[in-house]
Amino acid sequence: MSDKKLPPPPTFPPSFTAADKFCLFHKGDLSEAIYTCPKCKTIYCLECAKNAQADGKSCIKCKQIVLL
């Protein structure tokens, strides 16, 4: 009983893109109108992007300034 075989790793369902439907500004589901960061392609709500631009905030992931 020396050959220990590890079970195969679990396969993930192809639903990982659901994480992309998440707005990092308000930490919730994206609205219909979206803004895509030109640098890192992270998607935010258009409204959140407008608020971020008004507040002088930048992309949470890459710190690229919001350009609308």
Contact residue for Zn ion among 43, 50, 53, 64 (CB under 5 A): 64
Question: What is the C-alpha to C-alpha distance for residues 46 and 15, in angstroms, rounded to an integer?
Answer: 24
CB-wise, 39 or 50, nearer to Zn ion? 39
Question: What is the C-alpha to C-alpha distance for residues 57 and 41, in angstroms, rounded to an integer?
Answer: 17
CB 21 within 8 A of CB 30: yes
| Interface with Zn ion in residues 25-54 (CB under 5 A) | 25-26, 37, 39-40, 42, 45, 48
Residues that bind Zn ion (CB under 5 A): 23, 25-26, 37, 39-40, 42, 45, 48, 59, 61-62, 64
